[in-house]
Structure 1
Amino acid sequence: MTWGPRRSVIVALGLVGIGCAIGATLYGRDGDRLGALLLWLGALVFVAVTAYGSLLNPRLFANEVGVEVRTMKGVRSAEWRHVEARVTTTRRLGRDTRTLELELADADDVMADPELVVLGQFELGAEPDDVLADLNRLRSS
């Protein structure tokens, strides 16, 4: 099973980035330099998020053997006996946010601290609770 950002969301973010770039060009022609600068910054942010979502998709892969997580550093793999998964709730800006936390221990270095990977709903393309239920089913099979 795989989880990653939804393609429709990635495409929408890319289109908004293109729209910001077009708007920045039009504002720059009319002489509103500050407005053009702000739109270029917005375009850069949307393009960066689009690239992040595209390059790291799928973000999480799991099967009966273990899990693989794609990060900016590369792909991190772990067998089920070296994986601890849980969903946590954090309150930020007056809103509860649920994330999937995976602690991946290194099978070769027993003394090393496990690596913590935190994945939200955008990165998974699904509710963290549903992903945890699927992971538990795969682990038990």
Structure 2
Amino acid sequence: MAAVFLLVTIFSSDPVSRVFLGIATLVLLALGAYGTFVRPRLLVDDSGLTVRTLSGARQLPWHEVKVRLARTRRLGRETATLELDWRHGEHEQLFVLTPLDLGTDPHDVVDVLHALRP
């Protein structure tokens, strides 16, 4: 998709169109890079969970994480997300992972996480 936008940008004769198409091309390239380099978002082992973000990977020990399945209803459609509530002393952070982030249904991931949790 970004390649198509790039070609249209190059062959466009209107300067305003070139600017907008150039911006759209950069946004699509950035989103594609994000989806490529941050995968997989969630890794699990005996010591806990590892969540990958743009700022790096964060190791979350099992005893500091609460795993929840959240269901939200928007536009008449119910969507499930996986919520990882991490608390370490005064520091806390909420990671919300969608089916797109997980690559599968969050219900299945929650079941696996509860089975693996010591």
TM superposition shift of 1:74: 1.8
The CA distance in 2 between the partners of 1:26 and 1:95, in whole Å, is 41
Deviation string, structure 1 residues 18-39 (Cα, Å, up to 9, x no partner)? 2111111112xxx223333332
Instruction: Work out which structure has the larger RCO, using CA pairs closer than 8 Å and 6 or more positions apart in sequence.
Output: 1
TM superposition shift of 1:67: 0.4
Structure 1 residues 96 and 43 mapped into 2: Cα distance closer, same or farther (>3 Å)?
farther
Amino acid in structure 1 at the alignment position of 2:7 = I
The CA distance in 2 between the partners of 1:21 and 1:93, in whole Å, is 34
What residue ranges of structure 2 are gaps of 5+ in the alignment? none
Amino acid in structure 1 at the alignment position of 2:101 = E
* Equivalent residue, structure 2, for 1:37: 19
The structure with the largest strand share of the pair is 2
Runs of 4+ deviating beyond 4 Å = none
Structure 1 residues 23 and 95 mapped into 2: Cα distance closer, same or farther (>3 Å)?
farther
What residue ranges of structure 1 are gaps of 5+ in the alignment? 1-15
Amino acid in structure 2 at the alignment position of 1:41 = I
Structure 1 residues 36 and 93 mapped into 2: Cα distance closer, same or farther (>3 Å)?
farther
TM superposition shift of 1:119: 1.1
Structure 1 residues 96 and 38 mapped into 2: Cα distance closer, same or farther (>3 Å)?
farther
The CA distance in 1 between the partners of 2:112 and 2:87, in whole Å, is 20
1:66 partnered with 2:44: no
Q: Give the one of 77, 80, 85 matched to 1:98.
A: 80
TM-score (norm 2): 0.85
The structure with the largest helix share of the pair is 1
